[in-house]
Amino acid sequence: GAVVSQHPSRVICKSGTSVKIECRSLDFQATTMFWYRQFPKQSLMLMATSNEGSKATYEQGVEKDKFLINHASLTLSTLTVTSAHPEDSSFYICSARQSLRDTQYFGPGTRLTVL
């Protein structure tokens, strides 16, 4: 089946630093990847939609300069949280879509803690 990985699974950083999270589709080509954010015991909120080779489309209220998304290849998208602050601490989940299928496949998530 389709597998999506994320790296790292867990990261702790100091306030003011930048953190990069990778999302990879391991056995399929993903023309579209999605980035979600999930606060404890809450639902997933879509942050942005990333299409290979083009700029990401951000949801309303998501700062594009703070959450930099790069989808440089059909198997890799990265989310960089720039100048992270404690309020950015959250669970970040990516998903990838095979262009000809109906299901998004989700990664295992990355737990970001900003001290």
Per CB under 8 A, residues contacting other proteins are 4, 6, 34, 41-46, 49, 91, 93, 95, 97, 101-109, 111
Choice between 82 and 106, CB closer to other proteins:
106
Nearer to other proteins, 29 or 83 (CB): 29
Contact 111, 21 (CB under 8 A): no
Q: How far is the CB of 54 from other proteins (least distance, A)?
A: 16
Nearer to other proteins, 18 or 103 (CB): 103
Minimum distance of other proteins from residue 7's CB (angstroms): 13
Instruction: Decide if 11 contacts 113 (C-beta within 8 A).
Output: yes
CB 34 → other proteins: shortest distance, Å?
8
| Strand spans (E) along the chain | 4-7, 10-13, 19-25, 30-38, 44-51, 57-58, 67-73, 76-81, 90-98, 104-106, 110-114
